């Protein structure tokens, strides 16, 4: 095995390349964190909309029930 250091090895192991790789890794981490926050917000919004939908359906059903009950009382 040769102990000669190639130009590629010198470039890959250079402090500048190391710093660039670290910066790229930090940027990827920030992107993943941002995507995770976006996914959480989206899930929270979908959940809130679903519960709003259920609340509206319950309100309409209760109104319908009240109306039918009052009509049943009026009929002989």
pLDDT tens, position by position, 25-72: 999 999 999 999 999 999 999 999 999 999 999 999 999 999 999 888
Between CA 9 and CA 12 the distance in angstroms is: 5
29 phi, psi to nearest 5 deg: -65, -45
- pLDDT score recorded for residue 7: 61
- pLDDT score recorded for residue 63: 96
Cβ pair 17, 11 in contact under 8 A: yes
Please give the average per-residue pLDDT across 3-24, as a whole number.
77
Is the pTM value of this prediction over 0.85?
Answer: no
Any idea which residue has 């995507």 for tokens?
35
């Amino acid at each position: 095995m040769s102990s000669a250091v190639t130009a590629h090895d010198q470039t890959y192991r250079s402090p500048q390349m190391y710093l660039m790789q670290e910066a790229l890794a930090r940027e990827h981490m920030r992107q993943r964190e941002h995507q995770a926050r976006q996914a959480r917000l989206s899930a929270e919004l979908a959940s809130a909309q679903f519960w709003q939908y259920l609340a509206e359906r319950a309100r309409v059903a209760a109104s319908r029930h009240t109306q039918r009950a009052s009509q049943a009382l009026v009929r002989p």
